[in-house]
């Protein structure tokens, strides 16, 4: 096996290492920036076993101004463009890997997204109907299908990914964590937090086309 064939693996290893270092409950620079410069912010993120830095989809309110943002890799290359292999590889590295090699901050990956004022207001109000600041997550309600007696019921999944919801105000940055909520709502239905996070996921998907 030559070095060139090992390159993707080495890059993935490096990306995973940096991403691991950025994970945890400590707020990153972008979250702290939004806390300082907005009144209320909601960050939606789909966690994945395969993507070290999943995109942020952000809805934020300052006084009566509502704004949407993303924090994600640069856009994919136009497939109609034919590039020499080495140039295409370099650009793909820039677009998909470099985002994982820098701290999450107000950089080129943080971009405002246009929605009409009417659509933004509707989006904000519909999110508010789920009372996100009062939601409880798996850390409170129990992981998977654990019942009140700490018994596991229903089926289980080990690679389902999940959802993080970051709730940011002037006084707090709170992280909610749901593992495979759609799957577990099907096999052990009725948990309010999971039902609400799936509705919130639908709203973000409707607007950002996740």
Mean pLDDT of each 10-residue bin along the chain, 210 residues long? 43 41 74 98 88 87 97 88 92 86 94 97 98 95 72 73 96 96 91 96 95
Instruction: Yes or no: say if 164 and 47 are a contact pair by the CB < 8 Å rule.
Output: yes
Residue 139: closest CA among 190, 92, 93, 175: 175
In 48-84 the beta strands, taken as DSSP E runs, fall at 56-62, 65-71
| Token pair of 175 as six digits | 């992280």
Phi and psi angles of residue 56, each rounded to the nearest 5 degrees, phi first: -95, 135
Instruction: Print the domain residue range for 144.
Output: 3-208
pTM to 2 decimal places: 0.84
46, 99, 108 from 75: Cα distances, Å: 18, 12, 12
Total domains in the chain come to 1
């Amino acid at each position: 096996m030559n070095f060139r064939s090992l390159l993707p693996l080495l890059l993935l290893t490096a990306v995973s290492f940096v991403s691991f270092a950025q994970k945890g409950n400590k707020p990153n620079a972008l979250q702290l920036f939004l806390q300082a410069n907005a009144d209320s912010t909601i960050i939606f993120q789909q966690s994945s076993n395969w993507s070290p830095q999943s995109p942020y989809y952000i809805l934020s309110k300052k006084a009566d101004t509502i704004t949407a943002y993303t924090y994600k890799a640069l856009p994919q290359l136009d497939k109609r463009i034919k590039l020499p292999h080495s140039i295409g590889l370099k650009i793909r590295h820039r677009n998909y890997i470099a985002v994982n090699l820098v701290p999450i901050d107000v950089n080129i990956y943080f971009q405002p997204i246009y929605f009409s004022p009417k659509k933004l207001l509707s989006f904000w109000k519909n999110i508010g109907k789920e009372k996100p600041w009062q939601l409880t997550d798996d850390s409170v309600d129990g992981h998977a299908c654990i019942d009140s007696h700490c018994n596991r019921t229903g089926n289980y999944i080990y690679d389902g990914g999940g959802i993080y919801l970051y709730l940011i105000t002037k006084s707090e940055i709170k992280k909610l964590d749901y593992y495979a909520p759609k799957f577990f709502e099907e096999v052990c239905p009725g948990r309010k937090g999971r039902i609400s996070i799936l509705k919130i996921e639908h709203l973000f998907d409707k607007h950002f086309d996740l």
